[in-house]
Amino acid sequence: MSNMNGQRYVDFIHTDTGEIEFRFDLYEVLPTYQKLLIKPAFFENVIENRKLVDLSVDCSIFIPSPIDDNILRYIEYQEWYGQRPDKIKHINYIVESCTSNEKNKFLEKLHHYTELPPVESIYPIKQNRNYFIKSIARKVWSKLPAKVKSFIKKFM
């Protein structure tokens, strides 16, 4: 088990290969993401809809419902795919595990609890709002014949 800023990982590691067979991500609070905004109510909803799974006669755990699990997988994919192409496994899992009815519920719930951040938060724009217009005007001006420029300057 490892702990990073309110997030704990519980890893089940294969004894022969040393590779992670299964990982539980445990959160104290809903993490913030850059590429997808998540409504705080989603975290509460995941807890409310959790499913109890019996691992053995004397051991049970709560896990997210299948739809919530798929939403969490989608969020993970969306946030990290640019740096970790192996995250495509989450999309593959969603496609393979959902029936068409579950896909509709998944999309409805995903759209209800998430939204895309404003473009400016991912790709900051220049502070001067007229920057784009001025750059176009300069390009147009540079292409005008000298006679047209001198005529326009009379009115400036």
DSSP symbols for 17-29: T--EEEEEEEESS
In this prediction, residue 29 carries a pLDDT of: 75
In this prediction, residue 134 carries a pLDDT of: 75
User: For the chain (length 156 residues), average pLDDT per consecutive 10?
Assistant: 69 87 78 87 94 89 93 92 91 92 93 86 60 76 80 76
CA atoms of 1 and 11, how far apart (whole Å):
6
In this prediction, residue 121 carries a pLDDT of: 61
Model confidence, pTM: 0.67
For 124, phi then psi, to 5°, come to -60, 140
CA atoms of 91 and 103, how far apart (whole Å):
12
Angle between the N-to-C axes of helices 66-80 and 41-48, in degrees from 0 to 180, rounded to the nearest 10:
140
Per domain, the residue ranges of the chain are: 33-125
In this prediction, residue 44 carries a pLDDT of: 92
CA atoms of 152 and 156, how far apart (whole Å):
7
Q: Which one, of 104, 78, 100, 101, lies nearest residue 90 by Cα? A: 78
- In this structure, what token pair is assigned to residue 103? 């896909």
